[in-house]
Structure 1
Amino acid sequence: MSVPRLLGSNNPFDQKKRAILSQIEVTSEINPDASPKGTLDIKLLPLIELINSHEDMVTTSSCSGRVSVYLEGDKTVVLEERADSVDAAATREKVGAKGAGGKWLFVTHDPLYLSESWWTDAFNYTEAIDSSDAFITSIRYVLYKFEAMILHIKCRDHKSASTLYNLAMSCGFRESGIGSNDLVAIRISLKLDAPVAYLDKNNLSDGNATINPLVNSDYMKLLTKMSLDRFQENFRRMDELMKKIRDNMFGDAAANINTDNNGPSGKNTAWEDKEARRLRKREEGLKKKQEMELLREKTKQELTKKELTQSS
C-alpha cells in the first residue's frame, strides 16, 4: 500500500492520516504492529485500501473476522493481604475470560485453516471427557470464539462519518456507531462463544496442567460448521460494504481504482487530494469541451459539403 501525498497539509486529520499510512507501509511480520496478529488481515486489504484512498477517511484498526481458542487467565483476585501470608488473604473470583496467565491456543482469520479435526492439534484435544471439576468457580475454561469483522475508521468530519455509518448499516452491520472525533466503528453480531474445555491443575503432564475437554468431537464439528457459515456471511457483507463505499463515496474517481469480483485487487495508485481532484476535473472538462467543439465543427463542415453537392 503506497502512502498518498497529502501535499504537506498541516490539517490535524491529514497529519493523522499521514502517520497511520506511514505505519501501515512499514508493517510486516518482521516489523509487526501492536495487534495480536501483528499485520493487516489479507482478506481485509482490498477494503482497507479502498477506504484509505478516500481523502476523508483512514482506517485506525481492523480485523477481518476470526476463530480463536483462548485459555482464560487466573480469575482469583486478592482482596486483602494479611501480615502472616498472602495465601491467607481474602479472595474473590472474577467472572469472564480475563485474568493473569491467559493465552491464545489457536487463532485463524482464514476458514481454510479449519480443516478436519483441526482442534486436535490446536489445544491437545482428546475424545475422553471428564467434567468432574468443571463447576469449580476458579476453574480456567478454554473458550471457543467466532468473531466477525470489525473496522474502525477515522473520518475528516461528521458528514463523511454519517455517510459511512449509513452505508454500513444498510449492509447489515447493525452494531455500528459513530464515536467521538468522528470515529466510525463498523461491526456486526455474527458471533459464537462457548466453553469447550478446562484446565485441570490436578492432572499434570510433563509438569504442566492438562486440558480436559467438555465436549465431544461431534460438537466441535458443529461449531466448525457454524463458524464456516458465519465466515461466508461475514465476507459477503464485507464485499457489499466495499461496493457501496466505492459506488456512493467515490463517484467518477472509482473508475481509477482497479477492481475484480472481490473488490480492489492490488495497490491503489489513484489517491488524490481535493486540490488534485479539482485540477483533474478541470482538465477533463476542458478536454471534453474541445472534443465537443471539434465534433460541432466536423458536423458543420459535413453539412456544408452536403449542401454544395446537392446544389451542383
Structure 2
Amino acid sequence: MRRLPTPSPSFTKRKDRILQQLSIPDSEYTDASPKGSIDAGIRHLIDGINRLDGFVTTSSCAGRVSVFVEGKKATDPEQQARLDEGYDQEQVAPKPAQIAGVGGKGGGGSWLFVSHDPVPLEEGPSRADLDLLLGLRSSRVSGQRRIGEDGSSESPTRLIHFKFEPMAGFRESGAINLTANAGEPVTPIVAIRSMGLALESLIGMQTQGVPQRTVSAEYLENLLRIANERFAANTERIERFRLGVLEATQPPKKKDGTEWEDAQTRRERKRAEGLKRKAEFQKKELDTGQDGAYADSYMTLNADMM
C-alpha cells in the first residue's frame, strides 16, 4: 500500500469535531440509531480507526437482533409497486415519509425489541417470558386475518419481522461520497455492509395495534439460538477486520523488513539527510574554529604570566 496523502484541512477539522462528539460520556452521548449510543462491542474498533491519520468513523452497529413492526403500506397497489421498485435508487424521488418501502422501513414502523448482544437462553425461557421479552402477544392462529384484510383503515394489519443484522462480512461494502457539490471538499466514505450472516423471518402480525405471534414459541426460540451463533461469528469477523485495517494502514515493508519507499519519498528522504549532514558538518567546523581561537588565547595568556 502506498503512503496516504496528507489529510486536507477540511477533513482534519471534521475529524476533530467528530472526535469531540465521541468523547462525550456514554451517559450523555446520543445518536440516530435505535439504541442511541455506540455499542460496547464495537468501541475498540472505532477507537483504533480514529487513531489512524486520514481516517475517522462515527458510530457503527456491532450486530443486532431485533423484532420490528413494518410501517404502513400504500393503499394503492400501483403506488406501492412504484415505491418498491425505486427503493434505495437515487434517481427515484423519495417515498412519502408516511409510507413504508421494501422491508417495511418508514411509514411509522416501530421496534418491539433490539439487542446488540446475544440473548441468554440457557434456562429455557417460558413461552410467556419469551413473548414478553420480544414485545409480542401469544399466538392466536384461529381466526387470523390475511394480510390486507383488516377492516380498519386507521390500523391496518402489519407484518412483524425477526432480524439478525451483522456488522462484519464486507462483501457488499464499497466507497461512497466520491464526488461533491461545487465548492465543497470531497470526503470519501467506505461503507462497511454485509448480508453474509443476516437472518430474517416473519414471526407475526400486528392487528388493530396488537402485535401477535403467529409462529410457535419453539420456532422463535430456535431463531434466537441461530442469532446467538451468528453473534459469535460476527465478533470474530470484526476482529479480523480490525487487524486487517491496522495492517493495511502500516507503512509498506520490503522483503528485508525495512520500510518501502516510492521514488518521490526516497528523493525527499535523501535530500533531508543531505541537508542534515551539511548542517552538522558546518556546525562542527564552526565549533572547531572557536575551540582553536580559545586555545590560542589561553596559551598567550599563560605566556604573558610566565
Give the letter for the 1:193 counterpart: E
Q: CA separation of 1:188/1:78 partners in 2, compared to 1, >3 Å: closer, same or farther?
A: closer
Q: Is the 1:66–1:146 Cα contact (8 Å) retained in structure 2?
A: yes
Q: Are 2:190 and 1:184 aligned? A: yes
Q: Please show how residues 84-99 of structure 1 align to structure 2 within 5 Å.
A: 96-99=103-106
Match of 2:110 in 1: 103
Where in structure 1 are there 5+ consecutive unaligned residues? Answer: 1-8, 80-91, 151-171, 202-208, 253-277, 283-312
SS in 2 for 1:60: coil
Q: CA separation of 1:228/1:131 partners in 2, compared to 1, >3 Å: closer, same or farther?
A: farther
Q: Is the 1:77–1:93 Cα contact (8 Å) retained in structure 2?
A: no
Q: CA separation of 1:120/1:93 partners in 2, compared to 1, >3 Å: closer, same or farther?
A: closer
SS in 1 for 2:53: coil
Match of 2:69 in 1: 71
Q: CA separation of 1:251/1:129 partners in 2, compared to 1, >3 Å: closer, same or farther?
A: farther
- Could you tell me how far apart the structure 1 residues matched to 2:106 and 2:173 are? 28
Give the letter for the 1:22 counterpart: Q
Match of 1:149 in 2: 167
Match of 1:237 in 2: 237
Q: Is the 1:134–1:198 Cα contact (8 Å) retained in structure 2?
A: no
Give the letter for the 1:62 counterpart: S
Moved more, 173-182 or 231-240: 173-182
Q: Bigger radius of gyration, 1 or 2?
A: 2
- Could you tell me how far apart the structure 2 residues matched to 1:245 and 1:67 are? 26
Q: CA separation of 1:131/1:37 partners in 2, compared to 1, >3 Å: closer, same or farther?
A: farther
Deviations 1:101-138 (A, max 9, x none): 32111000011456644632121342443473133265
Q: Percent identity?
A: 33
Q: Is the 1:131–1:214 Cα contact (8 Å) retained in structure 2?
A: no
Q: Is the 2:121–2:225 Cα contact (8 Å) retained in structure 1?
A: no
1:14 to 9, 12, 15: 12
SS in 2 for 1:105: strand
Q: Is the 1:27–1:39 Cα contact (8 Å) retained in structure 2?
A: no
RMSD over aligned CA atoms reads 3.0
Q: Is the 2:147–2:158 Cα contact (8 Å) retained in structure 1?
A: no
2:42 to 41, 44, 58: 44
1:34 to 32, 35, 38: 32
Q: Is the 1:75–1:99 Cα contact (8 Å) retained in structure 2?
A: no
Deviations 1:269-306 (A, max 9, x none): xxxxxxxxx9xxx9xxxxxxxxxxxxxxxxxxxxxxxx
Deviations 1:237-269 (A, max 9, x none): 1011111222332369xxxxxxxxxxxxxxxxx
Tell me the TM-score normalised to structure 1 length. 0.58
Q: Are 2:212 and 1:194 aligned? A: no
Where in structure 2 are there 5+ consecutive unaligned residues? Answer: 1-6, 78-98, 150-155, 178-186, 253-268, 274-306
Q: CA separation of 1:56/1:131 partners in 2, compared to 1, >3 Å: closer, same or farther?
A: farther
Match of 1:294 in 2: none
Q: Are 2:130 and 1:119 aligned? A: yes
SS in 2 for 1:59: coil
Q: Is the 2:119–2:228 Cα contact (8 Å) retained in structure 1?
A: no
Give the letter for the 1:20 counterpart: I
More strand by share: 1
Question: With CA pairs under 8 Å and 6+ residues apart, which has the higher RCO, 1 or 2?
Answer: 1
Q: Is the 2:70–2:161 Cα contact (8 Å) retained in structure 1?
A: yes
Give the letter for the 2:167 counterpart: M
Q: Are 2:210 and 1:210 aligned? A: yes
Give the letter for the 2:147 counterpart: F
SS in 2 for 1:194: strand
Cα distance, 1:47 vs. partner? 0.6
Cα distance, 1:36 vs. partner? 2.1
